[in-house]
Structure formats: C-alpha cells, structure tokens
Amino acid sequence: MSAIIIMLLGSLLIASGFLLAFLWSVKNGQYDDDYSPAQRILFDDADKDKPTK
Amino acid sequence: MKVDQAVIKTCFHCGENCTSGKIFLQEKQFCCDGCKLVYELLNENDLCTYYNLNSNPGISQKIKIRQDKFLFLDDVEVKNKLIQFTDGSKTHVTFYLPQIHCSSCLWLLENIHNINKGIVHAKVNFINKEVFIIFSEQETSLRKVVETLTYIGYEPHISLQELDENKLTVVNHTQLYKIGIAGFCFVNIMMMSLPEYFSSTGKVEDNIHQILQALVVVFSLPVIFYCASDFFITAWKGLRNKFLNIDTPIALAILITFCRSIYEIFSGTGTGYLDSMSGIVFFMLIGRMLQQKTYHSISFERDYKSFFPVAINVLKDNVAKPTIIHNVKVGDVIQIYNNELIPVDAILSKGNASIDYSFVSGESLPVAKEIGEIIYAGGKQLNGILELIVVKEVSQSYLTNLWNKDVFKTQSEEQEQSSFIHWLSKYFTFIVLSVAFIAAAYWLSQHQYNKMWNTLTTVLIVACPCALLLASTFTNGNILRILSKNKLYLRHADMIERLTKINHVVFDKTGTITEQKTLQIEYQGNPFTTTDKINIASIMLQSSHPLSKAIVEYLHVLDTIEIHDLKIIHGSGVEAWINDRHYKIGSYDFIQNAKNISNIELKSSSVFVMIDNKVIGDFKINQQYRFGLKELIQQLRNKFAVSIISGDNNSEKQQLQTIFGQETSLLFNQKPAQKFDYIEHLKKIKHQNVLFIGDGLNDAGALKAGNIGIAITENANNFTPSCDGILDASQFSNLYSFIQLAVAGNNIILLSFLLSIIYNVIGLYFAVQGTLSPLIAAVLMPCSSITIVLITYGLTQFHAIKLKLQT
C-alpha cells in the first residue's frame, strides 16, 4: 500500500473522531442552551465548605 | 419630617420606583414589602450574590400571591401529570419559569437548595426558561417546591393546557445530526476528489483511483439516504397532492446527480458529481435550520386553556377545597381572590366585584357588579374576595364559546399561497425541464446519443435551484433572527413576505396602543387647598377601587389622616365628613344626585370631586399611550392607511384624533365579531392587505382575519391569542423599522436571485453543450452557494444597522 492510502486512512480516522465528538455533544444537549454554561462557570463556588455530594 | 420628593429611588430588589419611600432595610430601599421579604430571605441564606451579579435583578412582588394558591398541587391527579419521574423518595420535575431573564436568576435558582433543603438538584435551561428540579419526597413536597419558587419571585407557569397535553419539551436533534454528517461527508468527498482534478495525466494510479472512488461512493450514501431524506419526503408529498413545491426540483437534481455519478463511477467513464451533490445538501440544510428556528419559550397557538387557572377553590360546607377546573359543576360556590381570573360564568353572591374585562372586551376601566348579577368568564377581580355561584361550566362558558367560534376558525386556512417561492417552484421545474429536453433534442437531431444523455442529466444537475432557495432561506433566516433580537417573534418565515405587502395597519386600542397597567390622571377644575388635598387623599386611601389607588398615587400625599365618618357606595363613590366639611368623590351618576354638571362628555372616564355640595373639579382618567406612538403613527401614515378599532367607549376620541389625524377612521364600541367583519371588509371589498395589531381575546378573530396579525404583550410569556407574531410592548415604537427591514429583505432576495441566475446560466452554458466537467461543477456550485450566503447575510445586517435595530 502506498503512503497516500495510509495518510488518507489516518485523516479519515481523525475526521471521524471529530464527527463522533460533534454527534456526542449534540446528543449530550450541549447545543440546547448556549447561555447558561457560559454564565455558570463565572459564578463563585459558594458551597466549597460544604461536603460535596 | 422633610421628605426629598425630587429623588425617587428605585427598589434594590426589582428596580421599580419606590413610590411610598417608607420601606427600608439596611439602608436599602424597597418598593414594597414583598421585595423586602425576598431580600431578607436571601440575606439570611447568604444568597446575596444574586444582587452582585446584576443590579436590581428581582421580580416585583407588588402583586401578592395568596398563600394557599398551590393547594391543588397536593392532589394526586395533578401531581402525576406534572412530575416526570419518581421512585418514592426522589422526584424529578421540570417547571417553566417565564420570569427567568438574567444570570442572577440562573444563579439563584441553581442555589435554591440553600432555601429549601429538600431540593437536591436544580438545573436551569436558560433558552427554554425551564428549571429541572430533583427533590426528596421525605423532606419536602411538590407544593412546597412550587411555593419556594413563588416566594422568591419565580412562580412556575402551570396551566391546564400543559396538564392536558402532558407536554415535555423533547428537543429534536435530528437536524443537527444531519448537518454534521452532511458536512463531514461533503469535505471528505471533496478531499478525495482533489487528486482527480489535479492529476496532470488526467488519470491517477489505478489502485488508488479505485480506492478513492469507492470511498466517495460510501460517503455519498449517508448524504442521499439520511441527510437529504427531508427533501425527498416533501417533494413526494407535494407530487401526491399534484403540487410542485420548491423541493421537487431539488429532489430531482439530487437524485439525477446521484444516479449519474454512480453510473459513471461503476462504468469507469468518469468521476461523477458527488462532491457538488453533498455540498448542496449541506448548504441547504443549514439554510433550512436558520429559517425554521423555533422559539421554544414562545407559543403562538395558545388557547383558552392556558389562560385559565388550573384549580379554583370550591366552597363546601363553608370549607374551601381546591378543585381542578374541569371538575367544577353548575351550582358550585367558588371563591375568587384578588387579582384572580374568573374562569366560569357565575352569579355574584358575596363580595365587592370590580371586574377588569380589558382583555376580553377591550373596556379600559373596571366594571362594578352588584350581587345577583352574572359575571362572565375572563374577567379579573380587582377588589377583594368574591363568592360566586357557577351557572355554566368551563367548557360552556361565554369565553370558551367566543374562542371556539367557527367564523374565526375557517378563515385562516385559505391564506393565499402567493409567495415568490411558491410561484418560482411552480414554473422553475417546467423551465428547467424544457431547457433540458430542448438541448437533448438538439443533440438527438445531430445523432450524438452519448452527448444527448450527457446534456439531459447535466442540465438538471446545474439548474438545481439551490442558490435561489438559499437566497431566500438565508435572508429570511437572518431577518427572523434580527427581529427576534428586537423582540418581534414571527411564527414563520412566510410572515416576512406578508409584512412587505401590507397597505393598511389596523390597531386595537386598549392594551395595544395604551399601556396595560398605568393609568394617567389629570386634574381639571379649581385647585385644591392643602387641607383638601390631604383629606381627599386620605378618603381615597380607604377605598380599594383601582381608580382610587391611582388617584392616591397622583396626589402623592405622605401625611394622610384617619377618617371616621366614611361611607363607601360600591361601584359609585365615597362620601365622607371631615371637620364638618362634606366630601363626595365618585362617578358622574353618584355626584349628579346633588347637582348637574355641564360637561357630560367626560362622564364615563372621570372621577368627580364635590365639596359641600359644590363640584370643584374632576380627575380625568386617561390611558397612558405607549412610548413613541405619535412618531410611529406619523411614519406609518406616510405609507399606509391606518385605523383604530376598539371595544371601548369613545371618551378618548378627541385625543386619538389629534394623534392619528382627521382622515383616520376610529371605530369604538366594537364587538369581537364586528372587528373581524371590519378586517374582512377591508380585505374583500377594498382589496387591501391588512396588518392587525391587537392584544386581547376580543381581537382573536381580527388577528386571524388580517393578512398578518401581530399580538402585542408586555411580557412575551403572557397569554396572547393565536396570532402570526408576538411583539414585545417595549419595542412598539420600532414597528415601522421592522416593516422596512422586511421590505429590504425582499429586495435582497431579488438581488441574490439575479446573481444565482447568472451562476445558473454559466452552468447551463456548459451543460447544454455537454461539456460540464465535474471540476467546473465542483467549483461553480459551492462558489454560488457561498457568495449567496455572504451577500444575503451581509446585506441584511447592513440594513438592520441602518434602521438602528439590534443585530
């Protein structure tokens, strides 16, 4: 097999990885609400001295 | 005591003006006790970050919610309909909270477990304005969770409609999957086709060539069978109904491209056009998603069920029992609290009824009812607790009948399908087919059979109307997005085109061009002495009538006195004696017993003041017109005919005539059916395209009858009748800009159409000669798509900025 085929398969593998990541993120609901996660990360963690569940 | 009246402070909690100026806590001022209570609670639980994230993030607590309002949530039947999952100890439930508006809301709701320890987990979906809560049944209950939410100002929206449909917002991800897969396949096919295009010998090494071709075919399969399936389905549906929709030529082009490419690849005669095909599908899916963007938190199809409360208190043996509204029977005695809606037709048996019918009939002032009178469903009680005897069940009531009226329903179906896209799709297929057959016939006459097939298929491939379609989907999609940013939510992209065609704008009055809450008061007559002013304010303070409250606010007296000799005649006025001075304040009928008044015209909208049998003046009650009304009307009058059609009396006729001009027709005392008929008359007899703007239930028919009906609301989550668009009241003055943007959008579509036709002609030039190579197709098609997308997007943004709209 020539080098180009290996390169091709390699690139396809990487691209499929990204496709799967995209499909997973959609399924995970990451596109449902594009406002709150961005805000949530800025909140101070008020519960830090409480036991985590 | 010196009070600085010049500076009116705003409430620390909700940001409204503090009119009383008396409620303080820790040097923070509040507009009402409700707001203060919320602050205290949050302060106690270390939740003051709420106030640090945004200033005045709270929700006004002026309208108090009665304590046992949510008793019905202990009912097992209601409970089972609301909760999503329970294992006996942990329960999952999702509430719709229309009040969610900022990051503070998000923070507070997700930290709600600090207030109600029984709540285990809370997660907000900001876009849908929903909160998902898991709570422990041992420590709390559904009712207590709702009460906690309500206490901090986030009263969940629980309506009959939702209970009946048991709706759970299931988000459909299919469209995103399709776009992702189409994009993936498109770029990979493109990449694997590149060696073919750029090989100098015209042929790549045999084994590599075969592998590449095989992969291309493999990648094209999901595109045609999964991603493009919607186009085939709609095209097929259209054909079955003997109607050529815009998807027909697209489906045809995709299918022919696919078949021909597969044939070329397997027969070894060429490389096919699969890269162009997947590109088209990819771009069109994106365009479609933009255009079909739905507003999760807004519903255009609300019916009376979402207007009514879920449950109501029924009195049995002097014990109030919350009952689901469907189970309320004729003859039951029901209790209605202040600010609650009356859901059934009933006879008043106890209490002071002062009913606000503005939503149902358009009357701007509350109506007083005597004991024994029938109160129709849909009114809102404004003056204390009532007891009523039910005469008609919910499903039979006046309001429900109004809603279900047949005339209002039949009309909406026959909306003409005259839009440009429909026109195009009708003729486009014919034109393309005839070009293809003429070219094929030419080559047939030359006896070049190979070229004939070649031409026939390639013409259909390049003439795919995708660029044409992209022009309209991207323009409309972006306009919808801009409009929704400016708080005009249209039901569908077709509405943009309808908006460009209107030539008559009809307004409702109450609640549409007037503000719903604020009453403007103007005093005419002899000025009061200081004592009189204090006395009158003190007298009015004793009455709970909404007009009295408005007058008290208008007089703005802080040091009121106590009154002992007072007589309130319900629905008419107040009589009082202070230091041997006789005050009589009330309606025209109430006053005229003593003396006639010359200015009868004002009698319906004024409160008269009489001191010692002498009328000294009157408080004229005006509706507050919306901000920017005058400018808006001037803009509209330059281009369109304008009318007003109101269910209210004509007391404001003069004022309106000065704003709207002499030639505007102003119609008063119109019943819902008359409004409907008027719009129909304009449409059928005068052949005008009508934009109707209304708000209430009495406009429901007219909203449907208009070519486009827009409901106006002070809160996009409030109840609105079924309509084509919902406009936030704060953006009312921008209405003309919105229409202009729609017109600009139409021109942009036409421009991009011309451009895409140029692309198509270039493509056809090669196609009819039978010399369209896959390379030309692969360059031409994405090129045309991308330029169209850029041009439409750029131009709509440009116009929006020019019209000073938010983008």
CATH of the domain at B508: 3.40.50.1000
Residue B524 has pLDDT above 90, yes or no: no
Alpha-carbon torsion angle B173, B174, B180, B183, nearest 10? -150
Q: Are residues B585 and B712 in the same domain?
A: no
Q: Are residues B644 and B521 in the same domain?
A: no
- Residue B258 located in a structural domain: no
Task: Determine, for residues B177 and A40 on separate chains, whether the beta-carbon distance falls below 8 Å.
Answer: no
Half-sphere exposure of B771 (CA within 13 A, CB side): 4
Instruction: Judge whether B49 is closer than 8 Å to chain A, CB to CB.
Output: yes
- pLDDT tens profile B635-666: 888 888 889 888 777 777 877 888 888 878 88
Those residues whose C-beta lies under 8 Å from the C-beta of residue B446, and which sit 6 or more positions away, are: none
Mutate to test the interface with B, among A12, A18, A36 (most CBs of B within 10 A): A36
Q: Please identify which residue in the block is written with the tokens 């026959």.
A: B414
Instruction: Give which of B26, B25, B31, B33 is closest to B11, Cα–Cα.
Output: B31
Percentage, residues of chain B above pLDDT 90: 8
- Would you place residue B2 in the very low, low, confident or very high pLDDT band (cuts 50, 70, 90)? very low
Query: Which chain A residues are Cβ-neighbours of B215 within 8 angstroms?
Result: 8, 12
Instruction: Give which of B182, B180, B175, B422 is closest to B289, Cα–Cα.
Output: B175
Q: What is the pLDDT averaged over residues B91-103?
A: 84
- Residue B429 located in a structural domain: no
Segments in B298-366 forming alpha helices (H): 304-307
Closest-CA residue of B relative to A43 is: B107
Q: Residue B703 in contact with residue B692, Cβ under 8 Å?
A: yes
* Alpha-carbon gap: A7 to the closest alpha carbon of chain B (Å): 12
Q: Are residues B9 and B92 in the same domain?
A: no
Residue B417 has pLDDT above 60, yes or no: no
Whole-number Å distance between alpha carbons of B672 and B130? 35
**Integer CA distances (angstroms), B770 to B255, B459, B464, B628, in order:** 19, 9, 17, 62
Q: Are residues B539 and B583 in the same domain?
A: yes
Query: Which chain A residues are Cβ-neighbours of B188 within 8 angstroms?
Result: 12, 15
Higher pLDDT, residue B191 or B205 = B191
Whole-number Å distance between alpha carbons of B176 and B193? 26
Q: Residue B251 in contact with residue B238, Cβ under 8 Å?
A: no
Give the per-residue pLDDT at B6: 43
Dihedrals phi, psi of B489, to nearest 5 degrees:
-105, 110
Q: Domain containing B52: what range?
A: 1-64
Q: Are residues B605 and B639 in the same domain?
A: no
> Tokens for B350?
């106890």
Residue A52 has pLDDT above 60, yes or no: no
Dihedrals phi, psi of B324, to nearest 5 degrees:
-65, 140
Q: What is the pLDDT averaged over residues B669-679?
A: 83
Nearest CB to B171 within list A22, A32, A42: A32
Among residues B624, B646, B662, the one where a domain terminates is: B624
* Interface contacts (A, B; CB < 8 Å): 62
Residue B117 has pLDDT above 80, yes or no: yes
Q: Which of residues 19-48 of A touch B (CB under 8 A)?
A: 19, 22-23, 26-27, 29, 31-36, 39-40, 42-44, 46
Task: Determine, for residues B126 and A15 on separate chains, whether the beta-carbon distance falls below 8 Å.
Answer: no
Residue B718 has pLDDT above 50, yes or no: yes
Task: Determine, for residues B177 and A12 on separate chains, whether the beta-carbon distance falls below 8 Å.
Answer: no
Instruction: Judge whether B295 is closer than 8 Å to chain A, CB to CB.
Output: no
- Residue B156 located in a structural domain: yes
Q: What is the pLDDT averaged over residues B108-133?
A: 86
Q: What is the pLDDT averaged over residues B208-231?
A: 91
Give the per-residue pLDDT at B183: 94
Whole-number Å distance between alpha carbons of B544 and B522? 20
Q: Are residues B640 and B728 in the same domain?
A: yes
Give the per-residue pLDDT at B743: 92
* Alpha-carbon gap: B111 to the closest alpha carbon of chain A (Å): 9
Residue B269 has pLDDT above 90, yes or no: no
Q: Are residues B666 and B724 in the same domain?
A: yes
Q: What number of residues does chain B have?
A: 807
> Tokens for B53?
């994230």
- Would you place residue B594 in the very low, low, confident or very high pLDDT band (cuts 50, 70, 90)? very low
> Tokens for B558?
């802080």
Give the per-residue pLDDT at B411: 46
Give the per-residue pLDDT at B415: 46
Give the per-residue pLDDT at B224: 94
Segments in B268-342 forming alpha helices (H): 274-291, 304-307
Those residues whose C-beta lies under 8 Å from the C-beta of residue B145, and which sit 6 or more positions away, are: B93, B116, B118, B119, B133, B135
Among residues B681, B705, B736, the one where a domain terminates is: B736
Give the per-residue pLDDT at B113: 86
- Residue B759 located in a structural domain: no
* Alpha-carbon gap: B576 to the closest alpha carbon of chain A (Å): 57
Give the per-residue pLDDT at B171: 63
Segments in B494-599 forming alpha helices (H): 494-501, 530-542, 546-555, 588-592
- Residue B556 located in a structural domain: yes
Q: What is the pLDDT averaged over residues B703-732?
A: 80
Domain of residue B128, CATH code: 3.30.70.100
Q: Are residues B82 and B11 in the same domain?
A: no
Highest mean pLDDT among B68-72, B92-96, B335-339, B469-473: B92-96
Nearest CB to A35 within list B127, B188, B191: B127
Among residues B17, B49, B64, the one where a domain terminates is: B64
Residue B766 has pLDDT above 60, yes or no: yes
- Taking each helix axis from N to C end, the angle separating B142-151 and B33-44, rounded to the nearest 10 degrees, works out to 110
- Residue B134 located in a structural domain: yes
Instruction: Give which of B742, B761, B762, B750 is closest to B788, Cα–Cα.
Output: B750
Domain of residue B555, CATH code: 3.40.1110.10
Q: Are residues B148 and B57 in the same domain?
A: no
Task: Determine, for residues B46 and A5 on separate chains, whether the beta-carbon distance falls below 8 Å.
Answer: no
Residue B359 has pLDDT above 80, yes or no: no
Mutate to test the interface with B, among A8, A48, A49 (most CBs of B within 10 A): A8
Give the per-residue pLDDT at B300: 66
Residue A16 has pLDDT above 90, yes or no: yes
Torsion region of B765: left, alpha or beta (phi above 0 gives left; psi -120 to 50 gives alpha): alpha
Does ipTM top 0.90? no
Q: Are residues B529 and B619 in the same domain?
A: yes
Buried b or exposed e, range B647-676, using 16+ CB within 10 angstroms: bbeebbeeebeebbeeebebbbebebebbb
- pLDDT tens profile B781-799: 778 888 888 999 999 999 9
List, in sequence order, every residue forming a beta bridge with B123; answer none if it has no partner.
B132
Q: Are residues B635 and B723 in the same domain?
A: yes
How many domains does chain B contain in total?
4
Residue B217 has pLDDT above 80, yes or no: yes
- pLDDT tens profile B30-76: 877 778 888 888 888 888 888 887 777 777 776 666 667 788 888 78
Largest CA distance in chain A: 60
Give the per-residue pLDDT at A51: 44
Query: Which chain A residues are Cβ-neighbours of B128 within 8 angstroms?
Result: 32-33
What is the pTM for the complete model shown?
0.79
Residue B801 has pLDDT above 90, yes or no: yes
Instruction: Judge whether B783 is closer than 8 Å to chain A, CB to CB.
Output: no
Nearest CB to A4 within list B107, B128, B208: B208
- Residue B423 located in a structural domain: no
- Residue B329 located in a structural domain: no
Query: Which chain B residues are Cβ-neighbours of A5 within 8 angstroms?
Result: 208, 211
Query: Which chain B residues are Cβ-neighbours of A53 within 8 angstroms?
Result: 120
Residue B339 has pLDDT above 80, yes or no: no
Q: Are residues B106 and B26 in the same domain?
A: no
Percentage, residues of chain B above pLDDT 70: 87
Task: Output the average pLDDT for chain B.
Answer: 80
Q: In what order do the strands lie in the sheet with B641-645?
A: B488-490, B725-728, B708-713, B690-694, B504-507, B641-645, B665-667
Highest mean pLDDT among B338-352, B546-560, B740-754: B740-754
- Taking each helix axis from N to C end, the angle separating B494-501 and B466-485, rounded to the nearest 10 degrees, works out to 80
